[in-house]
Each structure stands twice: as structure tokens, then as C-alpha cells.
Amino acid sequence: MLKPTKELKSTPFTEVIELERIVTPDEEKRVDHIFVRRKKICKRHPEGFATEEIARFDVAWPEEPKEEIEESTKEKQEVEISNK
């Protein structure tokens, strides 16, 4: 079961600024490895207190359509018919 990934967004209390994003595809695992560096600024703090954070997560690729299975069953049916 896949977990949904929620990106951090700005709110009335904090401002989120994305500084860097690196997406690295991994064909073996069929995911994209994502590295995000962002700055969070607290709007309620009088001096605008800011922190920098790094996040790493994976986003799965969509599943491929299963057309191959349908073709193989058609071939089996044709073989069975020709054998009779």
C-alpha cells in the first residue's frame, strides 16, 4: 500500500520557501527519490524567526497498464483452437 506524500505548504503562521529540489529517478525500484531544501519563516515571531530544513522522500511511479496479459491469453486461445 502506498503512502500519500504531503508537501509542506505556507500557512497563516509560517511561510515556506523552497530553496532547492533534486529529483533522481530509480528505474530498478520504479520511484523518484526527491531531495528538498527549504526555509521556514515564522510570521508570528517579531523578528521573523527562520529555520532551514532538508526533506527526503520517494514518489512511486504509476503502474504500467497490463496489456501484455491480455495478449498472452489471446495467444493461448488461438493455440488451443488450432490444436483441436
Is 65 a member of any domain? yes
CB contact at 8 A, 56 and 33: yes
Question: How much is the pLDDT for 64?
Answer: 73
The span from the CA of 57 to the CA of 69, in Å, is 32
- pTM over 0.85, yes/no: no
Count up the domains in the chain and report the number.
1
Greatest alpha-carbon pair distance for the chain in Å reads: 85
Is 33 a member of any domain? yes
pLDDT tens column, 23-78: 999 889 888 999 999 999 998 888 878 999 999 988 888 877 666 555 566 666 66
Q: What angle do CA 46, 41, 6 make, to 5 degrees?
A: 145
The parent domain of residue 64 ranges over 14-83
Helices (H), the chain: 67-83
